[in-house]
Structure 1
């Protein structure tokens, strides 16, 4: 096979290690999830206390995750992973000395913070390791480590607790965290992009990830409650212990992800979200109304399918359209919803059990399943982050060229240009020739609306940095980040031509783009600046050099690349001796138009 068309490798050493780290993180998590209610009961707590401990664990994760996401983006994945795993190793040892419910609940709350740090760092790091074109498949396989932990850890935790008590259980979960730490520090892949953004509340969440996050939130309200309460419920109904239920959940989850892993990239997330929510509702009905072993195990299989289908597809939806330097924020946004669903569901379930009973509580959990499906249908399926087929342009299999009805052309053409080379006019003419929209100064108004800044502020702050030595202007950084988000949203919705704004870098992970660099010699550029732009000849040369310098420094600061470096573009065009019409014809020839 030609190496240029060969699919990028997924199963690398770094990918295997990060999957193993994730497995250990969730063994620590899942081993305590069904057993901690028994520990609370052992200390004298009731159902409300169990719900409170579950909720506080998740609330701690919810509150800390946005800040963890910023730290992951700005301080690095490895640093936060190590800090989180150290805490996850120390906290279980604290359970040894728990003399009462209050201390146990406090330690459980702190456990949530360290779990958030380690899981967020790992889930962000893996998106840097996975090839972008295999994101859905890769996250599905990465999620298998969580699924396998679901099979191993709850059953192991319950077995150790029943055989030897709580202290050996806590010792094992601490050792598992140490194993994750030793595995994680050996990952060699450190080629992720780090942000220099200051800590601001508006930057802690990623808007592009919200539709997937909200859909996941409602789903986890139901799924998390079943994970927490099914072991106690099974005992009250005379059914086999919760360990076997978790094993069947995990087997179904593993099978789902193996069979449907590539389907996420190919077919999108919609059918998996619909069928997954229907499956968990059916599993709840079986659990409540059919107290026999076959239906009990079938309920577990349905729940396993639901988690195996929904979680990786929504995580891919949340992550795939986000810039690399915003992946920590996107991951935290998604997992805040994940944790908040467990927290709210766990608290409400505790109250419902106290005042109603387990059967009624489980039936009420069908409501959030319906909300998950309904929210996705109304708001998620056509959002820019969705990768359903109807939201994509048809693509030429060999070249990443979209068929828009006007011939074959890249879904997005980006034009970087030297000042005075004619890039703006060439872009306008190219867009008219192709019958697509043109974006240059229009992006200023769109950025102003997204950032909340005035158009004048955006115009003054874009495509520049304040000083060669001091690159920390918060307004310029806010403009760049908002502008990049605008560019990604435009590119996700329509074929177009975009001039400037480092669009080639913002869209560098997309295959359906053609990145151009337009340049010319100084004489031709000065002539255009004088006769077309109306600049006085005495000022033209200085203006040309200053504008190019600003663009060069802006590019180096925000991308780390040299402006005009041929490796960052697909086509470089010298317009010194070309008319604009000739330049457009050359580009259209490249496009096959």
Structure 2
């Protein structure tokens, strides 16, 4: 069996853990900073939106650059700019300056995560790609569980200055680890236009877009919905995180052994069921059951779809393939939050989750078409080899 746990894989995965933890320190505390600077609720949303929009704009650019010029320089400069952006927050004195910094921070996020993420795909053996992506995704899940709680604690017990210093420190550790890990990719001499999107990954990217569309709504509206039925919102995310942690590595192994369809189809079906359960929930039991099902379904489907996305592209186009995947995911989260916000305003939370279930149905439909195409391509290759 090909070796997965190599030194570069471990170093790069842990590097992503520190990088994502650094970002997640800001998720629950950024609204507090905007308010402290005199901002309104709409400007709280704008601060989140411009960060995501900047990442969406710059990801396709950096993906093509990674394939043309290699990974290491973009890892170093992306992480360095990300850490400096964290420090710069402590100097911000107004909303306009904050928004400008959020654009810069979003661009550095696009460069750093795409570069490190692509390097991780370079060192994962093809035969263990699903398992590798599962462990890589688990690092981000752990950051999501630890970062927000740590961020709130630091702001309450120290200051925003201490928070930004801690975030910059975590980014520095991420930079150190990623720099030590030697990226094996060597760019091939090429000319012409730099690719901004990998067309071969469009079906997988479309499937992940509609899955992320729901994720944007879940993270935005579950806390409000839970409070409306007298349930602690943290209960949902705790049950979700625990299930996700258990599901990712196992789902990756099953995907490598039995094929992506063996994992993705039931995982998306479970995700649909979780959203239906959530739309009917009126107490703690329904919220917990939905969280467990959502963690199982989403946690299994996402790394498998990411592995498929990479498998569709040529090895020398992994940078743009990774960027295409991350762009679809970011765009789905951003547009999902906005669109489901309109649904919530005019219909209510149960309808939000029902519309979300419909979005996952679309994702499943796209994957079923993709699976048939992949099977046909596999048969063509087998016939050609024989």
Q: Do these two structures clear the TM 0.5 threshold for a shared fold by scoring above it?
A: yes
Aligned-pair CA distance for 1:359: 4.7
SS at match of 1:142: helix
Are 1:257 and 2:248 counterparts? Answer: yes
**1:26 maps to what in 2?**
20
For residues 204-237 of structure 1, give each alpha carbon's deviation from its aligned partner in whole angstroms, at most 9, with x where no partner exists.
2112211111100010011123224434554454
Contact 1:55 1:346 in 2 (8 A): no
CA distance in 1, matches of 2:156, 2:283: 23
Contact 2:55 2:109 in 1 (8 A): yes
Would you say how many aligned residue pairs link Structure 1 and Structure 2?
A: 385
SS at match of 1:204: coil
**1:420 maps to what in 2?**
none
Are 1:277 and 2:242 counterparts? Answer: no
Are 1:93 and 2:87 counterparts? Answer: yes
More strand by share: 1
Instruction: Determine which of 349, 370, 374 is the counterpart of 1:380.
Output: 370
Are 1:207 and 2:199 counterparts? Answer: yes
Higher mean displacement: 131-140 or 308-317: 131-140
For residues 502-539 of structure 1, give each alpha carbon's deviation from its aligned partner in whole angstroms, at most 9, with x where no partner exists.
xxxxxxxxxxx6xxxxxxxxxxxxxxxxxxxxxxxxxx
**1:44 maps to what in 2?**
39
SS at match of 2:25: helix
CA distance in 1, matches of 2:158, 2:223: 18
List gaps (5 residues or longer) in structure 2. none
Q: How large is the RMSD of aligned CA atoms in angstroms?
A: 2.7
SS at match of 1:10: coil
Structure 1 residues 362, 59: closer, same or farther in 2, change over 3 A? Answer: same
SS at match of 2:180: coil
User: Relative contact order: is structure 1 or structure 2 higher (C-alpha 8 Å, sep ≥ 6)?
Assistant: 2
Aligned-pair CA distance for 1:15: 0.9
CA distance in 1, matches of 2:53, 2:109: 12
Structure 1 residues 96, 287: closer, same or farther in 2, change over 3 A? Answer: farther
**2:129 maps to what in 1?**
135
CA distance in 2, matches of 1:353, 1:92: 33
CA distance in 1, matches of 2:192, 2:337: 31
Contact 2:229 2:283 in 1 (8 A): no
CA distance in 2, matches of 1:358, 1:168: 37
**1:453 maps to what in 2?**
none
**1:485 maps to what in 2?**
none
Aligned-pair CA distance for 1:36: 3.1
Higher mean displacement: 130-139 or 151-160: 151-160
Q: Which has the larger radius of gyration?
A: 1
Structure 1 residues 119, 383: closer, same or farther in 2, change over 3 A? Answer: farther
Are 1:495 and 2:380 counterparts? Answer: no
Contact 2:75 2:178 in 1 (8 A): yes
**2:66 maps to what in 1?**
72
**1:194 maps to what in 2?**
187
Contact 2:60 2:324 in 1 (8 A): yes
Structure 1 residues 271, 205: closer, same or farther in 2, change over 3 A? Answer: same
CA distance in 2, matches of 1:285, 1:102: 41
CA distance in 2, matches of 1:105, 1:230: 27
**1:299 maps to what in 2?**
290
For residues 426-484 of structure 1, give each alpha carbon's deviation from its aligned partner in whole angstroms, at most 9, with x where no partner exists.
xxxxxxxxxxxxxxxxxxxxxxxxxxxxxxxxxxxxxxxxxxxxxxxxxxxxxxxxxxx
Contact 2:280 2:286 in 1 (8 A): no
Instruction: Determine which of 178, 181, 204 is the counterpart of 2:175.
Output: 181
Contact 1:56 1:343 in 2 (8 A): no
Structure 1 residues 311, 57: closer, same or farther in 2, change over 3 A? Answer: same
For residues 540-590 of structure 1, give each alpha carbon's deviation from its aligned partner in whole angstroms, at most 9, with x where no partner exists.
xxxxxxxxxxxxxxxxxxxxxxxxxxxxxxxxxxxxxxxxxxxxxxxxxxx
CA distance in 2, matches of 1:159, 1:303: 27
**1:486 maps to what in 2?**
none
Structure 1 residues 223, 90: closer, same or farther in 2, change over 3 A? Answer: same
Instruction: Determine which of 47, 53, 57 is the counterpart of 1:53.
Output: 47
Instruction: Report matched runs for 1:494-533 at 5 Å.
Output: 495-496=383-384
Are 1:152 and 2:146 counterparts? Answer: yes
List gaps (5 residues or longer) in structure 1. 1-6, 394-489, 497-512, 514-590
TM-score by length of 2: 0.89
Contact 1:34 1:229 in 2 (8 A): no
